[in-house]
Chains A and B, each alone.
Chain A
Amino acid sequence: DSGVTQTPKHLITATGQRVTLRCSPRSGDLSVYWYQQSLDQGLQFLIQYYNGEERAKGNILERFSAQQFPDLHSELNLSSLELGDSALYFCASSGTSGSENNEQFFGPGTRLTVL
């Protein structure tokens, strides 16, 4: 158990809909990262927040947005969902801003299925 929690574990929805994925980092961790992993694919970095502010950005679609709240939990919002958005979404956290040893602790993931 990494200490990172994600809800829900599974999510099934229809095209065009909007969903929100939630992540709680390990106690004391200030950084939260979001990744997308499609079937048999590697991890695609979406975005990083550090202490409430956006710190790094990957190839995140404009239909996707995220934020980190004062209690450090984070939410990833996915809108106008398409079939291709079906994937496993991981949240990770770390105690640093990312400039140190780079160790990230991953949550169990949310499996999103768009029908």
Chain B
Amino acid sequence: GQSLEQPSEVTAVEGAIVQINCTYQTSGFYGLSWYQQHDGGAPTFLSYNALDGLEETGRFSSFLSRSDSYGYLLLQELQMKDSASYFCAVRDGTSGTYKYIFGTGTRLKVLA
């Protein structure tokens, strides 16, 4: 079946760099997305990788390796406001149709 795995929790200090990994198992892969969700809030889109390599958007970067079924989100110069849950998601296109699958999320705690 289809699944995504990511660590449940990561802790880092302000100013540090943190990497959140995501491994996926799908049959009809169409791309890996990352979303941020603060407690009580709605998910917000961070990045999308359809091809192998690194995508950079300000302090956040996302990487994809399709051959390894693996991706990661890299957060640099951590700030307290980055404390949130981060979800990886795929658009899985098996069985002639597709659906969206989200990981269970990684809770990032940024310490002062």
Chain A residues close to B by CB (< 8 Å): 2, 33, 35, 41-45, 48, 56-58, 90, 92, 98-99, 101-109
Contact = CB atoms under 8 A, between A and B. Distances in A.
Q: Is the interface of B mostly helix, strand, loop or mixed?
A: strand
Interface stretch (B12-20, B63-71, B72-80, B95-103): B95-103
Interface of B: 30-31, 33, 41-45, 48, 50, 87, 89, 91, 97-105
B9 to A, nearest CB: 12
A102 B91 contact: yes
Contact of B100 (A45, A99, A103): A45
Nearest to B33: A102
Given A57-B99, A58-B100, A102-B31, A43 B43 contact: yes
21 contacts: A2-B42, A33-B100, A42-B87, A42-B103, A42-B104, A43-B87, A43-B89, A43-B102, A45-B99, A45-B100, A45-B102, A92-B43, A98-B91, A99-B30, A101-B31, A101-B50, A102-B30, A102-B33, A102-B48, A107-B42, A108-B42
